[in-house]
Amino acid sequence: MGDRPPALLEAGRWRPEDADPPRPGGEADRAAADARDALARATTHLLALQSPEGWWKGDLETNVTMDAEDLLLRQFLGIRTEEQTKASAEWIRSQQREDGTWSTFHGGPPELSTTVEAYVALKLAGDDPNAPHMLAAARYVRSAGGIAAARVFTRIWLALFGWWPWERLPEMPPEIIFLPKWLPLNIYAFGCWARQTIVPLTIVSAHRPVRPAPFALTELHTDPDHPFPDRPLAPATTWDGLFERLDKVLHAYRRRALRPLRRHAIAQARRWIVERQEADGCWGGIQPPAVYSLIALHLEGYELEHPVMRAGLASFDRFTVHTEDGRRWLEACQSPVWDTCLATIALVDAGVPADHPALVSAVDWMLGEEIRKRGDWAVRRPSLDPGGWAFEFENDTYPDIDDTAEVVLALCRVAHPDPEKVGGAVDRGVLWNLGMQSKNGAWGAFDVDNTSTLPNKLPFCDFGEVVDPPSADVTAHVVEMLAEVGWAGDPRTKRGVEWLLRNQEADGSWFGRWGTNYIYGTGSVLPALVAAGVPDEHPAIRQAVRWLEDRQNGDGGWGEDMRSYDDPAHWAGRGESTASQTAWALMALLAAGEGPDGRANPAVERGVDWLVRTQLPEGTWDEPQFTGTGFPWDFSINYHLYRLVFPVTALGRYLGGRRTAGRESGAAPAIGAAR
Nearby residues of 248 by Cβ (< 8 Å), 6 or more positions away: none
Least confident range of 11-20, 325-334, 536-545: 11-20
**Residue spans of alpha helices (H) in 532-660:** 539-551, 568-571, 579-591, 602-614, 642-654
Dihedral angle sign, alpha carbons of residues 367, 373, 379, 381 = positive
CA separation (Å) from 262 to 100, 266, 392? 44, 6, 34
Q: Element (H or E) spanning 631, and its range?
A: strand 628-631
Q: Check if the beta carbon of residue 525 is closer than 8 Å to that of residue 548.
A: no
Least confident range of 557-561, 590-594, 658-662: 658-662
Reported confidence tier of residue 17, pLDDT bands at 50, 70, 90:
low
Return the beta strands (E) in 307-441 as ranges. 320-322, 328-330
Reported confidence tier of residue 15, pLDDT bands at 50, 70, 90:
low
Q: How far apart are CA 496 and CA 476, in angstroms?
A: 8
Reported confidence tier of residue 465, pLDDT bands at 50, 70, 90:
confident
Share of the chain above pLDDT 70, in %: 93
Reported confidence tier of residue 658, pLDDT bands at 50, 70, 90:
very low
pLDDT at 281 over 90: yes
Q: Averaged over 262-280, what is the pLDDT?
A: 96
pLDDT at 108 over 70: yes
Q: How far apart are CA 57 and CA 285, in angstroms?
A: 14
Identify residue 283 by its one-letter amino acid code. Answer: W
pLDDT at 2 over 50: no
DSSP states of 170-209 as a string? ----GGGGGS-TTSTTSGGGS-HHHHHHHHHHHHHHHH--
Q: Check if the beta carbon of residue 27 is closer than 8 Å to that of residue 312.
A: no
Q: Averaged over 142-171, what is the pLDDT?
A: 97
Reported confidence tier of residue 662, pLDDT bands at 50, 70, 90:
very low
Q: How far apart are CA 532 and CA 479, in angstroms?
A: 7
Residue 25 has a pLDDT of 55
Residue 595 has a pLDDT of 85
Parallel, antiparallel, or unpaired for β 628-631 and 635-639?
A: antiparallel
Select from 625, 621, 624, 623 the least CA-distant residue to 613. Answer: 621
* Partners of 638 in beta bridges: 61
Q: Averaged over 105-123, what is the pLDDT?
A: 98
Q: How far apart are CA 490 and CA 476, in angstroms?
A: 15
Q: Check if the beta carbon of residue 418 is closer than 8 Å to that of residue 445.
A: no
Q: How long, in residues, is the chain?
A: 675
Residue 29 has a pLDDT of 81
Q: How far apart are CA 246 and CA 184, in angstroms?
A: 14
Share of the chain above pLDDT 90, in %: 84
Residue 405 has a pLDDT of 98
Select from 391, 377, 276, 273 the least CA-distant residue to 332. Answer: 391
Nearby residues of 314 by Cβ (< 8 Å), 6 or more positions away: 281
Reported confidence tier of residue 466, pLDDT bands at 50, 70, 90:
very high
**Mapping DSSP to helix (H, G, I), strand (E, B) and coil, where does residue 96 land?**
coil
Q: What is the pLDDT of residues 301-320, one digit of tens each?
A: 999 999 999 999 999 999 99
Dihedral angle sign, alpha carbons of residues 579, 582, 584, 586 = negative
Dihedral angle sign, alpha carbons of residues 122, 126, 132, 135 = positive
Residue 77 has a pLDDT of 97
Q: What is the pLDDT of residues 421-455, one digit of tens each?
A: 999 999 999 999 999 999 999 999 999 999 998 98
Residue 18 has a pLDDT of 53
Instruction: Compute φ and ψ for 535, nearest 5 degrees.
Output: -65, 145
Reported confidence tier of residue 457, pLDDT bands at 50, 70, 90:
confident
Q: Using CA atoms in the order 468, 470, 476, 481, what is the torsion angle rounded to 10 degrees?
A: 70
Q: What is the pLDDT of residues 189-244, one digit of tens each?
A: 999 999 999 999 999 999 999 999 999 999 999 999 899 988 888 898 898 888 88
The residue with greater pLDDT, 225 or 163, is 163
Q: Averaged over 59-67, what is the pLDDT?
A: 97
**Residue spans of alpha helices (H) in 276-381:** 287-299, 307-318, 336-349, 357-368
Q: What is the pLDDT of residues 622-656, one digit of tens each?
A: 999 999 999 999 999 999 999 999 999 999 999 98
Measured at the CA of 336, the angle between CA 449 and CA 652, to 5 degrees, comes to: 95
CA separation (Å) from 472 to 391, 480, 514? 19, 12, 9
Q: How far apart are CA 93 and CA 88, in angstroms?
A: 9
Q: Is 519 left (phi over 0), alpha (psi -120 to 50) or beta?
A: alpha
Least confident range of 61-70, 390-399, 577-586, 592-601: 592-601
pLDDT at 178 over 70: yes
pLDDT at 330 over 60: yes
Q: Is 376 a catalytic residue?
A: no
Q: Check if the beta carbon of residue 614 is closer than 8 Å to that of residue 9.
A: no
Q: Element (H or E) spanning 135, and its range?
A: helix 132-143
Q: Helix 112-124 to helix 132-143 angle, to the nearest 10 degrees?
A: 140
pLDDT at 670 over 70: no
Q: Averaged over 475-479, what is the pLDDT?
A: 98
**Mapping DSSP to helix (H, G, I), strand (E, B) and coil, where does residue 630 land?**
strand
What domains lie within the chain, and their CATH numbers? Answer: 6-60+333-450+465-674 (1.50.10.20), 63-228+238-330 (1.50.10.20)
Q: From the candidates 280, 402, 468, 473, give the one annotated as an active-site residue.
A: 402
Q: Averaged over 367-376, what is the pLDDT?
A: 96
Residue 260 neighbours by CB distance under 10 Å: 8
Q: How far apart are CA 218 and CA 123, in angstroms?
A: 13
Q: Check if the beta carbon of residue 211 is closer than 8 Å to that of residue 161.
A: yes
Q: How far apart are CA 572 and CA 509, in angstroms?
A: 9
Average pLDDT, the chain: 92
Reported confidence tier of residue 380, pLDDT bands at 50, 70, 90:
very high
Reported confidence tier of residue 255, pLDDT bands at 50, 70, 90:
confident
* Partners of 636 in beta bridges: 629
